Amino acid sequence: MGSNSRYNYAAGTSGKTVVARLKPKTDLIGGLIEICKENSIRCGAIVCGLGTLDGAVVLTAAPAPGTKSGVGYSEPIIVKGMIEFICGQGIIMEKEGDLFIHFHGLFMDEDGKFYGGHFNPGGNPVLSTIDVVITEAVGVKALRMLDKDLDLEVMFPQKC
């Protein structure tokens, strides 16, 4: 039986696990990057479960006419005030030699309206706490690069 599945992957093992708390005024992505750097984690997974932000800035998938994939990012969605951070997950990878975290999360504003999207560094300061678990991937690396077939930056997993 034929398969239409298309993928690339690299198999490794789990390394160290870091359990951390981001403190008030720490930028969500900036804090995660610092924790990874301090623990020499260059590839892995991040799961955030609880906390609050003092405002949020996210991007969502949006049509990108004229590109090969037809997909891009929206203009920034800015949510002000206290944010209840419900959950988040991300992939730790490298982009042009620097650490890069591709992170998505779900959150709720003061009025109970839910939002979700892609978090970039800056604009997402912790209000009281963000609790996080980071799991290192060993023997593999993930590179964020342009996929010329899609005209889009994506992850390229590789064996180390």
Domain housing 78: 13-159
Three-state secondary structure call for residue 32: helix
pTM: 0.93
pLDDT greater than 60 at residue 160: yes
Q: Is residue 116 part of a domain?
A: yes
Structure-token match 């609050």, residue found: 52
pLDDT digits (tens, 9 = 90+) for 70-115: 999 999 999 999 999 999 999 999 999 999 999 999 999 999 999 9
Q: Is residue 5 part of a domain?
A: no
Which phi and psi (to 5°) does residue 6 adopt?
-130, 130
Average pLDDT over residues 8-27: 97
Q: Report the CATH number at residue 98.
A: 3.30.1330.80
Q: Is residue 6 part of a domain?
A: no
Got the DSSP string for 90-141? EEEEEETTEEEEEEEEEEE-TTS-EEEEEE-SSS-BEEEEEEEEEEEEESEE
Q: Quote the tokens at residue 39.
A: 């623990």
Bigger pLDDT: 47 vs 1: 47
Q: Is residue 119 part of a domain?
A: yes
Q: Is residue 86 part of a domain?
A: yes
Nearest 5°: CA angle at 45, between 44 and 49? 155
Number of structural domains the chain divides into = 1
Q: Is residue 4 part of a domain?
A: no
Q: Is residue 8 part of a domain?
A: no
Q: Is residue 106 part of a domain?
A: yes
pLDDT, residue 3, reads 78
